[in-house]
């Protein structure tokens, strides 16, 4: 069973292919008729009813005022297709080919044939029938939530990733209090803009000159929501699913026995602040829904930063790093011990702001601090923690069950842009003259001996686990996206090929590899897996690593081109919901739900092996991101966060003691050097 998928990738698909030609034609005709007959001079905006302005619609309350309502496209998004069973089996066998010897492959092929012609056919029929009855969602949404929420491992390392912001370009704005105030105000502006329906819909523009224009937006807002997606499609724009966005704020994953619960309270107006393991709350929205003045927020944060209380002996936040069943049991004791109302304040807070008391020295410390810290100053169950270190270094650490990287990255980009381009305060701004000791409430928890023991055990376990994690990074400056595109190679395929070559060089084998791909182009889409290890990457890696002298630069270039072409195909298929992983996962989930004995295909050791992802990889592209990272998804794996920039390639890798991250990165660097040599027609240095 796959663990902790990575969802920081967003790939642009040609989504319309999921419609039959007849359906496409009908929809387009209806839409053109509608656009021709719609009264041009209408003064009423059909989106207006969807976005009530609060009294606080003055300056500084919103990030933007989109003329197209935020959720305008949601109703007409295409549905995630259930792939054909024969396609899934074919793709699955192609992905198994480089991982198995001939005998193992024949066995797996036999299991697949009998599955496809037997129980698999029946399960697939039931899945399709079930999907037809649930047109409001996708076939993967329910099982995927279940997969996350029933997992009993700690969310720390096993699930939650981080993304660190670049510093504010104006260095004096990186003061901790200034940046914390500005980012908090920008985050609350994002919340207000989202809730008012004024946030620009998330759209992938293949031809921005045509679709990302005021003219198009003024036109499309009059197209009913049930048809609006097709209007965007006509100008080569692809709206993305935004159903996860409401969980960004006021949300927490609550530990429950056997299956956790996602909790959201949209009425709550307070911010949760953690500092030195202490909890503070104060309102960031007033009773009318207006953002509290920036100078007041600044005053309250200054008051919290000046609290000299020693760190608590029993830091409650460590409990959120526990095994979920253990934490569920302890939480029940907390509730029955008179802490229910206090916990409610933590759970319902708009978000959690973590103020750290130390500066960040380097990227190693940055990754460790933002991925896990010391466990005392994060509420790991919160939908996200906004972390700001003593020197203003900032990051978002997020819980993964509620949503994927697409929603978080949009929030991240908007907060960076707003807080740096239109900051609420300057370094010279004076805090409001207000009595923060009255407004800021410090939360106190009643702890009996059993709870204290539970906290100490959680902290001990946390410390022991974190000691086993290594994180290291490289920056390869010989070239990036621009150079690779000139070579007619997919930049992503080159990065993935480097990982395959590196692992082969270090450990002498090709192993299960996972690359996350967003399926947000579909209603309630989550992710699909790209399987970068292929017969092409295996052949190419072996040529580079084992026998470079036997191949000319031209032959090596040819092999790289084949890898790039095949990787491009896999990426397009995954983005179109045409991978095999989610389909097989849903069939397996359905068999378990119906009480059917697990089919042989899922008991095959090869199935277990391909889902034991030794190389777990994820990429994201954003000018606001400094670095991101996550832990390996299996004890003997690597967690590989990477980004191909215009003229360099960055890679941040984590591992546990059974693997050597530093050495792996040296092998990645060697692989990139070799590929760049081959591209430049040079011979490979052995």
* Residue linked to tokens 């068999």: 591
Number of helices followed by number of strands (H, E) in the chain: 24, 18
Three-class SS state of 279? strand
Could you confirm whether 645 is annotated as catalytic?
A: no
Place of tokens 């997919």: 490
Helix (H) / strand (E) element for 352: namely: strand 352-355
Query: Maximum CA pair distance of the chain?
Result: 77
Q: Can you read off the two tokens belonging to residue 684? A: 């490979």
DSSP label of 264: E
Tokens 């792939």 -> residue: 83
Catalytic residue among 400, 524, 551, 567: 400
C-alpha torsion 147→153→156→162, nearest 10? -20
CA angle 183, 643, 176 (to 5 degrees): 20
Which residue has 């992802």 as its token pair?
613
The residue among 534, 515, 476 whose CA lies nearest residue 672 is: 476
Task: Write the CA distances from 222 to 40, 67, 201, integer angstroms.
Answer: 9, 10, 15
How many other CB atoms are found less than 10 A from the CB of residue 361?
11
Alpha carbon of residue 645 to chain centroid: 19
Phi, psi (5° rounding) for residue 601?
A: -55, -40
- Quick one: which H or E segment has residue 441? strand 441-443
Crossing angle for the helix pair 119-133 and 581-593, nearest 10 degrees?
A: 90
C-alpha torsion 14→626→357→348, nearest 10: -10
Measured CA to CA, the distance from residue 290 to residue 653 in angstroms comes to 42
* Integer Rg of the chain from CA: 26
Q: Give the dihedral of Cα atoms 658, 662, 664, 670; nearest 10 deg.
A: -160
Catalytic residues: 400
């Amino acid at each position: 069973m796959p663990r902790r998928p990575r969802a920081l990738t967003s790939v642009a698909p040609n989504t319309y292919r999921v419609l039959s030609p007849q359906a496409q034609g009908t929809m387009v005709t209806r839409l053109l008729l509608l656009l021709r007959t719609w009264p041009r001079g209408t003064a009423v905006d059909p989106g207006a009813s969807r976005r009530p302005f609060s009294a606080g619609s003055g300056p500084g309350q919103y990030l933007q005022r989109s003329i197209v309502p935020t959720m305008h496209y949601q109703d007409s998004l295409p549905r995630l297709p259930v792939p054909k069973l024969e396609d899934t089996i074919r793709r699955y066998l192609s992905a198994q080919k480089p991982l198995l010897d001939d005998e193992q492959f024949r066995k797996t092929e036999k299991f697949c044939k009998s599955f496809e012609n037997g129980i698999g056919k029946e399960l697939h029929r039931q899945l399709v029938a079930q999907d037809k009855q649930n047109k409001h969602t996708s076939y993967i949404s329910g099982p995927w939530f279940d997969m996350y929420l029933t997992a009993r491992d700690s969310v720390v390392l096993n699930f939650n990733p981080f993304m660190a912001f670049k510093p504010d370009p104006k260095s004096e704005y990186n003061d901790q209090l200034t940046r914390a105030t500005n980012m908090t105000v920008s985050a609350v502006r994002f919340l207000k803009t989202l809730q008012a329906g004024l946030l620009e819909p998330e759209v992938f523009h293949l031809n921005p000159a045509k679709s990302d224009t005021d003219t198009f937006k003024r036109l499309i807002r009059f197209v009913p929501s049930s048809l609006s997606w097709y209007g965007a499609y006509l100008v080569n724009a692809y709206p993305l699913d935004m159903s996860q966005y409401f969980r960004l704020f006021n949300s927490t994953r609550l530990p429950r026995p056997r299956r956790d619960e996602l909790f959201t309270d949209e009425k709550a107006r307070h911010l949760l602040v953690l500092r030195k393991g202490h909890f503070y709350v104060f309102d960031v929205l007033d009773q009318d829904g207006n953002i509290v003045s920036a100078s007041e927020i600044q005053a309250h944060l200054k008051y919290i930063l000046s609290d000299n209380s020693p760190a608590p002996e029993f830091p409650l936040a460590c409990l959120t790093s526990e095994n979920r069943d253990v934490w569920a049991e302890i939480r029940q004791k907390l509730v029955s011990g008179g802490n229910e109302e206090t916990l409610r304040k933590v759970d319902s807070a708009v978000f959690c702001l973590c103020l750290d008391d130390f500066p960040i020295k380097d990227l190693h410390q940055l990754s460790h601090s933002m991925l896990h810290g010391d466990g005392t100053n994060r509420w790991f169950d919160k939908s996200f923690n906004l972390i700001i270190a003593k020197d203003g270094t900032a990051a978002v650490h997020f819980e993964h069950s509620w949503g994927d990287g697409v929603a978080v990255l949009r929030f991240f980009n908007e907060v960076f842009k707003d807080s740096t381009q239109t900051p609420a305060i300057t370094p010279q701004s004076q805090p409001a003259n207000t009595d923060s000791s009255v407004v800021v409430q410090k939360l106190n928890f009643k702890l009996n001996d059993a709870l204290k023991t539970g906290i100490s055990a959680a902290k001990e376990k946390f410390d022991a686990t974190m000691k086993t994690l290594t994180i290291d990074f490289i920056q390869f400056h010989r070239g990036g996206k621009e150079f690779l595109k000139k070579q007619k190679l997919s930049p992503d395929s080159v990065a993935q090929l480097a990982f395959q070559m590196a692992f082969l060089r270090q450990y002498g084998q090709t192993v299960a590899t996972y690359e996350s791909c967003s399926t947000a182009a579909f209603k309630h889409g989550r992710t699909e897996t790209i399987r970068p290890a292929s017969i092409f990457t295996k052949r190419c890696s072996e040529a580079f690593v084992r026998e470079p002298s036997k191949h000319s630069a031209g032959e090596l270039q040819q092999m790289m081109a084949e890898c790039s072409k095949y990787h491009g195909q896999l990426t397009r298929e995954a983005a179109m919901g045409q991978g095999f992983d989610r389909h097989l996962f849903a069939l397996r989930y359905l068999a378990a739900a119906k009480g059917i004995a697990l089919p042989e295909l899922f008991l095959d050791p090869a199935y277990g092996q391909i889902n034991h992802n030794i190389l777990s990889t994820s990429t994201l592209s954003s000018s606001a991101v400094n670095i991101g990272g996550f832990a390996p998804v299996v004890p003997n794996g690597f967690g590989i966060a990477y980004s191909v920039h215009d003229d360099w390639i960055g890679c941040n890798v984590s591992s546990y003691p059974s693997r050597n991250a530093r050495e792996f990165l040296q092998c990645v660097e060697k692989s990139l050097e070799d590929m760049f040599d081959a591209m430049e027609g040079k011979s490979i240095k052995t």
